[in-house]
Structure 1
Amino acid sequence: MPAKRILYCESNADGTIGGSFFSLLFLIQGLDRERYEPVVIFYKDNSLIPSYRASGIDTRVLEKPLPWNFVRSLASAGGIRALCSRLLWPVQKALNVGRFLLMPVADKYLYLKRNHIDLVHLNNSIIRNNDWMIAARLAGIPCLTHERGINAHYPQLSRWLAPRLDAVICISNAVANNLRSKAIPDKNFQIIFNGLDPANVVADETDSEIRARYGIALSDPVTGMVGNIKEWKGQKSVVLAIARVKQHFPDIRCFLVGDTADADQPYRDVLEQLIEEHGLQKNIIFTGYQTNVANFVSTMDVVIHSSVLPEPFGRVLIEAMALKKPLVGARDGAVPEIVLEGETGFTFEPDNPDEMSACIVSLLQNPDQAKTMGGKGYQRLNEHFSIGSNVEKTRLLYDEILARRSS
């Protein structure tokens, strides 16, 4: 029997690489290529594409059109042009519906047919990739999507499409519960946690090398977080917490590991101003994007997860668990599903620097407890968040969907 061709689409195109990129890569690497032939679509070139291609994955980059916005230029001109802009706004909206939904649906329909796709797997959310969903439905090709977000609002089209998909893979119970709270039927929900193989989370630089690069003494305590610089990720809370930790550990160092998209530069500027105001220039280190975050997590005595909005999963948490690190995480979203309070780490109220700093200080003052928590986290990773379990559950779902469609 020929391998089933599965089209995957990663829709994030802001220039940063997030957990969804890695989750998809690890999933596909674990699939049996004699049974499944992956085709991966990105909308923007990125530094992880070589890793996909090195794994023998057919990886493509498609152009995504930009919205027409002639109304804005008219509105800014003032006078009669501003009046025209108000009259033309419905026209612009209608044109963009055609440009971003109707035309793409036709293009995607032809793409699926020409490439002989058997199954479509969308990697982000029911909010994203609606054109692929509709095109697959028109083409009679089964389609499922990951839901990797906890969103406050779901557009009407997404709410209509979700129950008509073959499956919605929720990466945590928190994600599924959020969808239910928005009155989205759960008849096709599947809970499949992100997975990780600890053997793949390996530092290729030593603790001494990382410390030497950033001028950190071997005796200095180190903490930090991994995540692109975005307001909802909560780096501001981390900065304020480190200002408090510094009162107990003057030589504390904190890595902020992650890229900054152009749209998030104003937030980065706010962080740098806060760092200066609190005299933390030597304590907090922006590393930028790193190809191997394990180099930095390995150096941390405590790993922070600081999202100020509900976290859908938190891949960085299980990466830290793979390195036997104690965790300090915001008590919201899926974090309590991963971090067991008092066993694998501590949790705190989101956007509460005082409580966060108390958790960090407690672990730094009790290194034996921190080590025990790290060991229990490693055990929990292997029991609940292994890549083997993730791949097997996804494979069974594929087989069920394909069998149902062929019967």
Structure 2
Amino acid sequence: MIKIHYHSDCPFFAGCENMLINFFNSEKFRKTHDISFSYRYSVKYSQEFNLRIERPLPVYPLFFLDFSDFSFFDRRLLNRLAILFFRLSLTAFVFLYQIFTLFRLFRKIKPNILHINNGGYPGALSARAAVIAAKLAGIPKVLMVVNNLALDYKRFPRIFDYPIDILVRKLTDLFITGSQVASLQLISVLKLSAEKVNAIHNGISLKKTSSFKKITKKRLGLENFSGVIFGVVALLIERKGHQVLLDAIKNIVEDRIVLDDHFMVLIEGEGPLLKDLRNFVIENKLSTWIKFVGTEDNIVDFMSILDILVLPSIRDEDFPNVIIEAMALSKPVIASRLAGTPEQVIDGVTGILFRPRKSKELSDAICYLVNHPIKRVEMGQAGLIRFKEKFTCQRALNNYSDIYTKLLEI
């Protein structure tokens, strides 16, 4: 039995955490792998983790300080250079403390493999600290999963990560990304050999619906609506591209391309842009076509009433789980052609891809699917077939199991 310890550092249970739950909840996987888990403690993450976990395992919450937010400094008293110096000093202290804490934990657990789940690269500080702590503790193999496109050194603060990046590059035995695009970016940034990076598509185990479609539509005030329902499932933050979608809807309405009752867009989620997005809808008289529904407790219930999923992201995506969730539900997908989305959506077959920020292209895609009901069904069916072939939970688990075995044989 292979002994694997997983480590993650995320302030909330983001999409990049979902693959961890596949490992933890799979009875088949647990029969051949002895697993444990550590994470940087936060109340929100702990609550969301506990809601998802079905099978008990050894869990180690770690109380690491987070100095990522320096907004409490008065810029009138401290110039940027002083703030940068203070930040680097604190980061160095925290980094050494994290290495020491993780070293003690790893010496206690003594796994064969450390699997680090990192949101991106450089990502979380403790993810990089874990690499160094693992080698100091004598863990035979270290694997880091990078769930987004790696940042290069064009941004000034990234220059100070360079010494740590050298250590991470040297001490990590294998990097895993969710897409081929992310692999190429990571190879470029860290100057890695191609053999040291492997792309494994994430898989999902879809939750069951908790209510009938008719009930969900009634709850959302759509029981009498017979038009095409589009939906967005994403945090209301700038990089998710909600404004691009609103601009696209505005174009459709102003040009009278489709009739008023032919479509509706449901925006699920919360976030800092909620007020601005709502104001845009009100100011441009788009409330007939756009509805904000807040956070849905069971996202499968929400997605089950959609005809089409839209993901209009403009940057910082890799392999969005929400796309393969829609495919599993036989929903066609309209998504920006960004990072790993072309590896998920086959343009014209399982959905439509458009260039990021191009609201006119998004308008065209929406209108096309509103006016072609048979094509919507065909795309949804093709998406389900592709999901079953490529993106199931078990397929992803099998791929990782093979990687673990091969890693220990090297």
Partner residue, 1:382: 388
Partner residue, 2:142: 143
The answer to whether 1:18 aligns with 2:28 is no
CA separation in 2, counterparts of 1:53 and 1:346? 34
Aligned-pair CA distance for 1:94: 5.0
CA separation in 1, counterparts of 2:84 and 2:340? 40
How many pairs are equivalent?
387
The answer to whether 1:109 aligns with 2:107 is no
Distance 1:68 1:205, change over 3 A: closer
Equivalent position to 1:294, from 297, 300, 305: 300
Distance 1:230 1:163, change over 3 A: farther
Paired letter, 2:144: T
Partner residue, 1:64: 64
Distance 1:91 1:302, change over 3 A: closer
Normalising by structure 1, report the TM-score. Answer: 0.87
Distance 1:60 1:51, change over 3 A: farther
CA separation in 2, counterparts of 1:384 and 1:87? 49
Paired letter, 1:100: V
Aligned-pair CA distance for 1:140: 1.7
CA separation in 1, counterparts of 2:52 and 2:70? 38
The answer to whether 1:40 aligns with 2:47 is no
Q: Contact 2:121–2:151 (CA<8 Å) still a contact in 1?
A: no
CA separation in 1, counterparts of 2:70 and 2:265? 45
Q: Contact 1:27–1:390 (CA<8 Å) still a contact in 2?
A: no
What SS class does the counterpart of residue 48 from structure 1 fall into?
helix
Distance 1:384 1:75, change over 3 A: closer
Distance 1:34 1:235, change over 3 A: same
Aligned-pair CA distance for 1:402: 2.8
Identity of aligned residues (%): 22
Partner residue, 2:158: none
Aligned-pair CA distance for 1:37: 2.3
Task: Give the 5 Å matches for 1:91-170.
Answer: 92-124=86-118, 125-127=120-122, 128=124, 129-141=127-139, 142-153=141-152, 155-156=161-162, 157-170=164-177
Partner residue, 2:225: 218
Partner residue, 1:179: 186
Partner residue, 1:76: 76
Aligned-pair CA distance for 1:333: 1.2
CA separation in 2, counterparts of 1:68 and 1:238? 30
Q: Contact 1:308–1:350 (CA<8 Å) still a contact in 2?
A: yes
What SS class does the counterpart of residue 29 from structure 2 fall into?
coil
The answer to whether 1:259 aligns with 2:270 is yes
What SS class does the counterpart of residue 39 from structure 1 fall into?
strand
Paired letter, 2:199: I
Q: CA RMSD in A?
A: 2.5
Task: Give the 5 Å matches for 1:218-257.
Answer: 218-246=225-253, 247=256, 248-251=258-261, 252-257=263-268
Normalising by structure 2, report the TM-score. Answer: 0.86
Q: Contact 2:29–2:397 (CA<8 Å) still a contact in 1?
A: no
Distance 1:189 1:63, change over 3 A: same
